[in-house]
């Protein structure tokens, strides 16, 4: 059992929790995720690691209450426990394996959309601990959905907040903010964008025009988290990849976002999942790749 030792509402429907998970805390890195299961009959939910404390044996997760399972999870209180907390899963951020000199030579910008701020935070924090300064754009539809702003300001060189409705920070979406920063004289040669698929798509269209390398996290399309369900199958360049076992981070300029978004909608129905399995055959799954 994995005990909840801290619970905080970041907004009316976004919850942060610290979970006592010693093994995961000792081995996880920014970019990875965990699978949480409330009880024996509960749904397996993949959640990106927002933070970790190796000394306290805790892992921080952030969840948005969208479906029945996440709403039930949000009702858990400090002292309650989850049945399963599996991880770390997925590949750590590519930045972790680069030398400090290489990282300091980069001009890095993180673009976080909505709950995508949660997986951005551990990467920015890790870079800060290595003495690497980066900038961050945090964007959301309105002020209520802006999360982790103060935490991010403690570890980022500059934090730019933007809201679609202009209720807080700059007015406009993250692309509007990025264009403004470039116009103001800011220079970047490496961008990491994490958020809704449509946001990452348009960030990548812009950065491709600007000639800026861009990494995206495809965790929004994960369901099973092991490669066996076929939900996160996507095309990256000319190759078939699975977000949960090959990623979740990929070169954003090579990701077929239109295909991923259509697939995400189709996968939501039983009929759609059947169509995908029949069409893709042995390539439907990413766990073994040889399922009939």
Domain span at residue 60 reads 2-89
Q: Are residues 112 and 157 in the same domain?
A: yes
Q: Residue 51's pLDDT is what?
A: 94
10-residue stretch averages of pLDDT, the chain, 292 residues long = 93 92 95 90 86 95 86 91 90 91 95 93 95 96 93 96 94 96 95 94 96 92 70 85 86 92 70 63 60 46
Q: What is the CATH number of the domain that holds 201?
A: 3.40.50.80
Q: Are residues 180 and 252 in the same domain?
A: no
Q: Residue 290's pLDDT is what?
A: 45
Q: Are residues 10 and 121 in the same domain?
A: no
Q: Are residues 99 and 207 in the same domain?
A: yes
Which of 167, 195, 217 is at the close of a domain? 217
CA atoms of 276 and 266, how far apart (whole Å): 8
Phi-psi region for residue 289, left (φ > 0), alpha (ψ -120 to 50) or beta? left
Q: What is the CATH number of the domain that holds 33?
A: 2.40.30.10
Per the structure, how many domains does the chain have?
Answer: 3
CA atoms of 10 and 237, how far apart (whole Å): 37
């Amino acid at each position: 059992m994995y005990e909840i030792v801290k619970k905080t509402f970041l907004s009316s429907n976004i919850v942060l929790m610290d979970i006592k998970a010693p093994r995961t805390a000792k081995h996880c890195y920014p970019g990875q995720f965990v699978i949480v299961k409330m009880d024996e009959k509960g749904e397996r939910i993949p959640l990106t690691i927002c933070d970790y404390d190796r000394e306290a044996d805790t892992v921080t997760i952030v969840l948005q209450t969208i479906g029945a399972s996440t709403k039930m999870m949000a009702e858990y209180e400090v002292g309650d426990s989850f049945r399963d907390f599996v991880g770390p899963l997925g590949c750590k951020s590519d930045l972790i394996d680069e030398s400090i000199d290489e990282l300091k030579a980069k001009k890095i910008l993180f673009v976080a959309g909505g709950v995508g701020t949660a997986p951005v935070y551990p990467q920015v924090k890790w870079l800060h601990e290595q003495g690497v300064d980066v900038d961050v754009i945090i964007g959301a539809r309105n002020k209520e959905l802006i999360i982790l702003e103060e935490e991010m300001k403690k570890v980022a060189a500059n934090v730019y907040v933007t809201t679609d409705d202009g209720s807080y920070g700059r007015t406009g979406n993250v692309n509007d903010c990025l264009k403004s920063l470039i116009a103001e004289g800011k220079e970047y040669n490496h961008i990491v964008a994490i958020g809704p698929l449509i946001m990452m798509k348009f960030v990548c269209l812009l950065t491709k025009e600007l000639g800026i390398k861009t990494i995206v996290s495809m965790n929004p399309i994960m369901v099973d988290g092991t490669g066996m369900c076929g939900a996160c199958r996507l095309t990256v360049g000319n190759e078939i990849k699975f977000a949960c076992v090959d990623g979740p981070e990929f070169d954003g300029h090579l990701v077929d976002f239109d295909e991923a978004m259509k697939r995400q909608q189709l996968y939501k129905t039983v009929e759609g999942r059947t169509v995908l399995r029949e069409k893709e055959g042995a390539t439907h799954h990413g766990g073994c790749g040889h399922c009939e």
